[in-house]
Structures are given as structure tokens and as C-alpha cells.
Amino acid sequence: MATVTKDMSIGQVLEIDRTTAPIMMEYGMHCMGCPFSQMESLEMGCAAHGTDVDELVNKLNDYLASKGE
């Protein structure tokens, strides 16, 4: 199973599993297709949207673990 870290880009997380998109959208990251999604880290995105990156990373990893990937 791949592990999500806060220094990964939105694009990298989507490459692991596209079904993580709704979770990231809950944290204000609605720019799945924009160029920034390939460059901006989860940490940078959360800072820009005023959300907690550690909470997001934990939620993404819990989700992936629950799928058994």
C-alpha cells in the first residue's frame, strides 16, 4: 500500500488512487485538473485553504488502508 505524505502533490495522490479526490475536495482542494495540482504539495494546498494537512494525510491514509491497497 502506498503511503500519502504532506509533501506529495495532489496529482501524485490521484495517481495512487483517483477515488481520493472527494476527500481532498472536503479540504478545499477543488483544483484537481489545474496545473498547480501537479506542483503544489498537500501541505501548500492546505495552507492556502486554511485546513489541517496532518488531518488530511491521516484521512487519506486511513481511506487507502481501508481499501486494502
Alpha helices in the chain (DSSP H): 10-16, 21-26, 36-39, 42-49, 53-67
Q: Which residue has the cell 504539495?
A: 41
pLDDT tens, 14-50? Answer: 999 999 999 999 998 877 777 767 788 999 989 988 9
Fold type of domain 10-67: SP0561-like (1.10.3910)
In the chain, domain spans: 10-67
Whether the pLDDT of residue 2 is over 90: the answer is no
Between CA 34 and CA 19 the distance in angstroms is 17
Q: DSSP secondary-structure letter at 34?
A: S
* 3-class secondary-structure state, position 65: helix
pTM, to two decimals: 0.89
Task: Look at residue 29 in the predicted model and tell me its pLDDT.
Answer: 85
Q: What is the largest CA-CA distance in the chain?
A: 31
pLDDT tens, 4-14? Answer: 999 999 989 99
